[in-house]
Amino acid sequence: MKVKSTSTAKRGSPYPTLTSRACDQCHKRKVKCDGEKPCDTCRRTEAICTFDKPVLPKGPIPRAKAEGSNPSGKRRLSDHTQATQASQTWYQPGSQSEGFDIQEWLNSASDQGFEEVTGLEQADSFEPSALALFSPDLGTGCTPALGIFGSPQTKYDGFSWQSPPQPSNIYPFREGFNIAVGQAGPSRPFTATSEDISPILTLCLDSLIRPQISIFLDRIQPMIPVYTPSEILSRLGDARSLQSPTFVAMILCMAALSLVHPLRPEELPHRAQRAKQAKVLMDEACRLRAGWDHGCDPCCEGVLASYLMFGTLFELGEAAGSRLRLKEAVTMGEAMQLDLPFSYLNQHPIEAARRRRLFFVLAVTERAFALQRSGHLIFHRPFNEQNFDPDPTAASLPFLAKLFSLIDQPLVYCWNNQCDPLTCTTLTRDRAVSLLRQLSGSATAVFGSQANAALTILGEVQKADLLITWQWLRNRIWRLALKHGLAEEGAEPELSVNHVIGVAATTIAICKRLSLLSMEAHGTGFVEKLYDIASIITDIAKGSMRDTSMTASSSQGEKWIEMLTVLHSFVSVHRAGKVFADYLGDELKAVDNGRLLTVG
């Protein structure tokens, strides 16, 4: 019987016809296909109808034909072999372009600042030593250029990283790239695959991804300096890198985070649309990592992608999802043994420095998140600060690590109410006093003899994070001592009310020297720290402490209300501070009306 092709048959004909072949989708589902393009089944199910897969003959294949008469199979095997060989070739990026001074980039002038907040002009408990960290040109940022949605962004054309000379030898990297980015080398042929691994990246690489990566490098990379800007930009322009699932997933997550954090005033009207775009990019990143082998061979790119998802979900208010992604990133970092010093011995110096930066980012965030959202620590070992990478964009990491090295797992258990305050042996009076003393005083006393010189190279965004986190940790430890009944009048100065009030006064003085952009660069976590520092004053004013003799006198009450007013101003103007400002505003009104303030 002669088979009639449906290419000449009309749909709806009363005579039955046989098709020469079914479409790929119907063949896979083993359903009837009419052979049209698109076929009726694909039209009803809204599937993509294709006829790409070759039709294999039925029955046994002759030995001669199976061994030597399938040129198309040979061609496919040859293409696969070439692609495999190309992916195993070590990568040497092109030579450096015209120089770009990273120091000048971090400290270049900006015309946006923070208006002076009226209120507390000078506090008796204020610690001026913390302000010595500021350079005369504090309040500066990056020179803006018009980017997506009309938002300012920094141009990176002609960027070259001013780092020490790199070794001349080529060192193998997990994805087949040379980790000594910026080193000149001969161009190598690249065999492209038949399809791009990420259609979304192909469609919006120039219209969305590249502009958002520039914004990421401008606003976020100084806070997460795992990869240098030159490394990211060099690989973003390399065709082989764009076929790496782990690298593409990391790039998509960078773009997703930059879409929602931090947003400047002109970008706020587009927040809903930008959030949708960020979710689409994260979906694509998850698709690229959806195989069973996800996490089997963790690398810096994969860990950073999970960490960036954590940041994006945290800004979107997804508490459970952000916790999951942070735990995923930290767990993969633990699998890489980032917390073990011996794991860096056999690594290339550049890769070892990158892994060390990643470890500090993960460990610091894990400890801060445990204090803000509860949880336990995976990286529970003490920090190793020796031989830290001298990269100026990562200069704040060792100082943050120094602060959070005081926070260990038993202390987190105490904070999460997993101990009995009356019988707790973890936070004793002596240890509470010791912790508060280690966090008090000048920068030299807290961070070491070389702190003042080292801190001067920090950008304003990094200073904002470091200085406010410093005061916030002092506040957290004092509040924990209060929960254990250790804070009382007549005790050590560190456990008195004046100590925590001094922390609030120092925080106000620091915020007055910072621009609004530098504070908003840290999003919800930053404004929550300000709220925590302010809320202790309301707790004291409401007489919630165990010892009623610690309540405020009339003069102290007026001073505290003035401090609360200033802190409320900083919280309310922050883009993420509306909820916290409402809570703090209600407490301020109650205290100001004299209904909750105990007058001595």
Choose the most confident range, by mean pLDDT, from 80-84, 126-130, 194-198: 194-198
- Ranges 85-99, 271-285, 328-342: which has the least confidence: 85-99
Q: How far is CA 346 from the centre of its chain?
A: 27
Q: Are 315 and 524 in contact (CB under 8 A)?
A: yes
Q: What per-residue confidence (pLDDT) applies to 126?
A: 52
- Ranges 46-50, 230-234, 375-379: which has the least confidence: 46-50
Dihedrals phi, psi of 408, to nearest 5 degrees? -115, 180
Give residue limits of the domains in the chain. 1-59, 76-107+142-186+197-392, 121-140+428-600
> 479-505 pLDDT, tens per residue?
999 888 888 765 788 898 889 999 999
What mean pLDDT do residues 401-425 have? 87
Could you tell me the two tokens for 479? 């509040």
What mean pLDDT do residues 257-286 have? 92
539-547 LR contacts (CB < 8 Å, sep 24+): 540/497, 540/500, 540/501, 541/591, 541/596, 541/597, 541/598, 542/587, 542/590, 542/591, 542/596, 542/597, 543/596, 543/598, 545/482, 545/487, 546/482, 546/485, 546/488, 547/488, 547/489
Summarize the chain as % helix, strand, coil (round to 5): 55, 0, 45
- Ranges 14-23, 221-230, 252-261, 578-587: which has the least confidence: 14-23
Ordered DSSP codes for 360-384: HHHHHHHHHHHHHH----S--SPP-
- HSE at residue 31, side-chain half, CA atoms within 13 A, is 9
Q: Are 285 and 245 in contact (CB under 8 A)?
A: no
- Ranges 39-48, 349-358, 376-385, 405-414: which has the least confidence: 376-385
**Which residues does residue 152 pair with via DSSP β-bridges, in sequence order?**
146
pTM of the model: 0.67
Between 145 and 307, name the one with better pLDDT. 307
What mean pLDDT do residues 356-376 have? 90
Tell me how far apart the alpha carbons of residues 181 and 160 are, in angstroms, rounded to a whole number.
10
Tell me how far apart the alpha carbons of residues 514 and 466 are, in angstroms, rounded to a whole number.
12
Residue 148 pLDDT greater than 90, yes or no: no
Dihedrals phi, psi of 133, to nearest 5 degrees? -80, -15
Question: Residue 323 in 3-state DSSP?
Answer: helix
Could you tell me the two tokens for 548? 């009623």
> 502-528 pLDDT, tens per residue?
999 999 999 999 998 889 888 888 999
Candidates 3.10.290.10, 4.10.240.10, 3.20.20.140, 3.40.1160.10; correct CATH number of 1-59?
4.10.240.10
- Ranges 210-214, 417-421, 541-545: which has the least confidence: 541-545
Q: DSSP state, 226?
A: T
Q: What per-residue confidence (pLDDT) applies to 254?
A: 97
Element (H, E) at 258: helix 245-260
What mean pLDDT do residues 544-556 have? 52
Tell me how far apart the alpha carbons of residues 397 and 357 are, in angstroms, rounded to a whole number.
7
Q: DSSP state, 180?
A: S
Mean pLDDT, the chain, as a whole number? 75
Torsion of CA 367, 488, 588, 579, to 10 degrees: 20
Element (H, E) at 587: helix 578-592
Confidence of residue 367 (pLDDT cuts 50, 70, 90): very high
- Ranges 127-141, 313-327, 453-467, 549-563: which has the least confidence: 127-141
Going by C-alpha positions, the residue among 580, 479, 495, 489 that lies closest to residue 539 is: 479
Element (H, E) at 522: none
> 573-596 pLDDT, tens per residue?
988 888 899 988 888 887 776 654
Q: What per-residue confidence (pLDDT) applies to 309?
A: 98
